[in-house]
Structure 1
Amino acid sequence: MKFDINWFESRVSLTPNKIAIIDSDTNDSWTYAELHRRVTIVGNYFYSKGIRKGDRVAILAPNHISFFDFFFAAMKIGAIFIPLNWRLADAELEYVIKDCNPKMIGIDPLFVDKIKSIDTISDLVIIDHNDYLNDLHSEPFTIETQLKEEDPLAMIYTGGTTGRPKGAVLSHRSILWNALNTTISWNLDQDDTTLTCLPMFHTGGLNVYSLPLLLVGGKVVLSSEFVPNKAVEDLITYKCTVVLFVPTMYHMIIQTDLFKQSSFPDMKVFVSGGAPCPLKIYHAFSEKGLAFKEGYGLTEAGPNNFYIDSKDTISKPGSVGKAMIFNDIQIIGEDGLMVDPGEVGELLTRGNHAFEYYWNKPDETKETIKDGWIHTGDLARKDEEGFVYIVGRKKDMIITGGENVYPLEVEQWIESHQAVDEAAVIGLPDEKWGEIVVAFVVTKIEITPKELELHCSKKITRYKVPKKFIVIEELPKTHVGKINKTALKEKFSNAKDSTVP
């Protein structure tokens, strides 16, 4: 099957005068026709520089209109769009750039120093304002690229907390079907508006709402950084109807005075993704009568895989719902067979939204894609009615004295204590038990480990109660704001007893 029609150009033809993008930092806005003109300029510039089908073009910048300029220009030419993670350490970023070897990088001046030592970079486009493309000089070209649906369109680097990042290759099919599945299953339409604060080097920033809404003719409001109070202001000012934040972002948002004072009359639903969401965040929205739900995905699949009506979250708190219309899921045990309702197993997913392969990593690809199913490495269970609950990462499961402990259950109960701000539970090596359950806790007010132990004993089985409670000022976070348990394990696994209370 070949694509004869560029879906972005078809969307432009249908709604040329409708606002597509707003920059919340400058209040600049662009209609679909104006965005198309930008894409044409960038596409012609790419072509004049010899960029052709299969070549890589990258961008290293905060959220900005240039992401869409580059993405849709790459779509037209058949190039591969790579959003680079500017939060990576210089050595990590150098590895990623050398791995994907882009022919051109669009870069914000803020990050030029991060790549100055890399000698393989050929062309740079400086993105220092919204009209940066006025400096791109080229003649118009007739670009007629024959594309197959499985041809690569984007590559997003995933991982990095364990081992080197892997480039997940997303094809035209992957991105289109994620967008189709999302708009149909989540009932999105051209009257919807989202705020994109999550960095667009992350699949959540690019593929959860941004591209699906541009497919359906909606509006995307861009923010170059996440500031809790400003995010709430932008939701209200731009009359946003849907939004995605990760739990850490919500944790900060619900503590702002503006959130507490606001009614959000235009919002249909707030969505949490990226990591299991603490139940106290559900409660903060429920108390205000606001629709709130949780999604689940990964760079390699979607990242949208489930749908739940926000009304169902009242009786099914913590559930991500059921598989969307155009993808399948399974939950399997160690024997490879599907588990019974209520039992925990590894979550598998498949569909046209799935990634094609890891760039230059055939062995890792075979480990992840088996018989058409993506093995997510996440643990889940399904209730009798078919609602799915994410239990946590398979690698995070703790085995203590032969018993399985799923950290999320313990974390949620610890966080229900009024003195606790955040909690992370991991397993640390122990000669007697193999592993012991250890809780790292950030507190709002002073509380003793004994009080936390008594709190846990009221709700959870004895072997799940942490044997150690470590109060710290701040939990380490990943580049997109998830709690970094790998960093905790690395720091404390070999610690002396005097270091770990």
Structure 2
Amino acid sequence: MNELGVGGWLARRRLRSPDKPALIFDGGRWTYREMADRVDRVAGLLAARGIGRGDRVAYLGENSPEFLAVLFGIVQRGAVFVPVNTRLAPPEIAHVLRDSAARLLVHDPEFDGVLASVLSEDDMPEVIRTGEEPTALSALVSGAAPLPAAERMLPEDPAAIIYTSGTTGRPKGAMLTHQNLTFVSLNCIVDYDVVSSDIALLISPLFHVASLGMGALPVLLKGGTIVLEKGFDPARALALIEKHRVTMLSGVPTTYQMLADHPAWAETDLSSLQKLTCGGSAVPTRILNAYEERGLSFSQGYGMTETSPGGTSLPPEMSRAKQGSVGLPQFFLDVRVADESGQELPPGELGEVQLRGPNVFAGYLNLPDATTAAFTDDGWFRSGDLGYVDKDGYLFIADRLKDMIISGGENIYPAEVENLPGVTGVAVIGVPDDRWGEVPWAILTLSAGTTTDTEAVRAHLDGRLARYKLPKNVVVVDELPRTASGKVRKADLRARFAG
């Protein structure tokens, strides 16, 4: 089924809408013809470097046209794209590169020092730097012979490996297939009414599966236009919405709060906006009010890396009637709430949220036991989240079995942060925060005669973990609440410190 190969998308767009703007970035414009021609040269460069079917190619860099050209060039060759979160600490970056067995790494120059600090010559894959030097990516691509023929791919062939934080404290590589990326894009097109006239402002990093799978890919598949930003600045984002008549915007609650709180909010012409999508956590009522006053409402949703990442979506017209819900299953996806034996529960009863469909991932790279544990015997992906559906089929998330913290749209697993020496007990919990949704706090017990504080804990973890994972506060207690089996009762801690 070659039609499911993501590597052929831009070539087909070149036939259908060659002169349509595909990408706007930093004042420059690229048509679909120009983007597809660039991708052909990237594929040619990769072929000249010996990169072919099944090889892993990593990308460590900020949003740019090169990011998308390299992505499509990789999958056009039948190779596998490995985006690396630029916010990871150096040891985490090294783990991603080693675990994925990347043969080639494309990276921005500012990461030279990071890579040299954690990788030896034996560990380092072949490297191409971005930038303007004669040996950098842009010059190499311009001089490469185009290779327009895409590899024929099967739906189950891997297209990307995207690393998600693991409960064991090490990032796990979620293997996303060509079918996964195709159907998550189709789900977005159906559920969010993406059309070819849409102009989407992408302000979130493309190394995040949400920005890639539910932002860039469906817009490019449909033939819309992406206004791509290297990072998020609320003043600049508001100006771009007005300048380019942006119709689509995606973000997390913090993103929308910062836009609404900016002094330019009231004067900015937002009349072009039609589709606002929000994930990560529920949109606070104050933000709903601020946008509704401007005639805007949200499509909220729920998902995860393992679902590429689409799961459910709440139609904007139901944002009040079903406030607190994450919505209905996306079009080509089934969602159920089940008990411990795998039996589907009736409306209103609390159980594990489980998902099944063509956008659910193929498994974790190099982790067969974790892959097996992630699925039920009858093939449903186990989200690890507790929820229930109401009588109308709308899903509500009640709690997280895995205790994951979502801070500003970033996932933080307590197990990553809880590896602290010199403490007799530790539990990391999420505490509500007006700006970030929630932030991590570390609750500790210490042996007699020892002391510590927030700065000492943060200093120990700094450099080992991404900075957004560092606890914002450290509280020392006499005793951690535990179950009869000795497991920390984090619900009790959340009730005490986060309630």
Q: TM-score range by the shorter chain?
A: 0.7 to 0.9
- Matched with 2:206 is 200
Cα 1:2–1:190 change in 2 (3 A) is closer
Distance 2:42 2:429 in 1: 52
**Can you list the C-alpha shifts for 1:300-332, whole angstroms capped at 9, x where unaligned?**
103122233211112111222211221100011
Which residue of 374, 378, 383 corresponds with 2:381?
Answer: 374
- Matched with 1:173 is 179
The Cα shift of 1:128 comes to 1.6
Describe the SS at the equivalent of 2:383.
strand
Describe the SS at the equivalent of 1:194.
strand
Cα 1:325–1:51 change in 2 (3 A) is same
- Matched with 1:19 is 21
The Cα shift of 1:393 comes to 1.7
Which residue of 212, 219, 225 corresponds with 1:219?
Answer: 225
Question: Greater CA deviation, 26-35 or 373-382?
Answer: 373-382
Question: Greater CA deviation, 385-394 or 124-133?
Answer: 124-133
Cα 1:218–1:304 change in 2 (3 A) is same
Counterparts of 1:88-127 in structure 2, within 5 Å, are 88-117=88-117, 118=119, 119=121, 120-127=123-130
Cα 1:176–1:126 change in 2 (3 A) is same
Residue pair 1:38, 1:133 contacting (<8 A) in 2 also: no
The Cα shift of 1:49 comes to 0.4
Cα 1:305–1:115 change in 2 (3 A) is same
Among the aligned pairs, what percent are the same residue? 32
Cα 1:492–1:483 change in 2 (3 A) is farther
| Alignment-mate amino acid for residue 206 of structure 2 | M
**Can you list the C-alpha shifts for 1:137-181, whole angstroms capped at 9, x where unaligned?**
434457563321111111111115751000111111110111112
Describe the SS at the equivalent of 1:178.
helix
Which residue of 365, 368, 383 corresponds with 2:390?
Answer: 383
1:41 aligns with 2:41: yes
Distance 1:172 1:14 in 2: 21
Distance 1:253 1:328 in 2: 34
Distance 2:49 2:105 in 1: 12
Cα 1:439–1:158 change in 2 (3 A) is closer
Distance 2:24 2:209 in 1: 20
Distance 2:350 2:320 in 1: 22
1:279 aligns with 2:285: yes
Residue pair 1:41, 1:133 contacting (<8 A) in 2 also: no
1:76 aligns with 2:76: yes
Counterparts of 1:136-151 in structure 2, within 5 Å, are 136=141, 137-141=143-147, 143=149, 145-151=151-157
In structure 1, the gaps of 5 or more residues are 398-406, 409-423, 427-434, 445-471
Distance 1:34 1:369 in 2: 42
Distance 2:433 2:148 in 1: 58
Distance 2:225 2:270 in 1: 17
1:232 aligns with 2:235: no
Counterparts of 1:28-427 in structure 2, within 5 Å, are 28-117=28-117, 118=119, 119=121, 120-128=123-131, 132-136=137-141, 137-141=143-147, 143=149, 145-159=151-165, 163-370=169-376, 371-396=378-403
**Can you list the C-alpha shifts for 1:207-229, whole angstroms capped at 9, x where unaligned?**
11210010000111111111222
The Cα shift of 1:201 comes to 1.0
Distance 1:294 1:259 in 2: 21
Distance 1:144 1:311 in 2: 41
Q: CA RMSD in A?
A: 3.4
Question: Greater CA deviation, 206-215 or 141-150?
Answer: 141-150
**Can you list the C-alpha shifts for 1:103-124, whole angstroms capped at 9, x where unaligned?**
1111111111111241222322
TM-score (norm. length: structure 2): 0.79
Distance 2:38 2:145 in 1: 14
Describe the SS at the equivalent of 1:156.
strand
The Cα shift of 1:439 comes to 8.5
Describe the SS at the equivalent of 1:261.
coil
Distance 1:141 1:2 in 2: 17
Distance 1:159 1:328 in 2: 24
**Can you list the C-alpha shifts for 1:10-53, whole angstroms capped at 9, x where unaligned?**
12211111000111xx2111000000111011110000000010
TM-score (norm. length: structure 1): 0.78
Cα 1:254–1:48 change in 2 (3 A) is same
| Alignment-mate amino acid for residue 147 of structure 1 | M
Question: Greater CA deviation, 218-227 or 138-147?
Answer: 138-147
In structure 2, the gaps of 5 or more residues are 407-411, 415-425, 436-453, 481-495
Instruction: Specify which structure has the bigger relative contact order, considering alpha-carbon pairs within 8 angstroms and separated by 6 or more residues.
Output: 2
Residue pair 1:319, 1:389 contacting (<8 A) in 2 also: yes
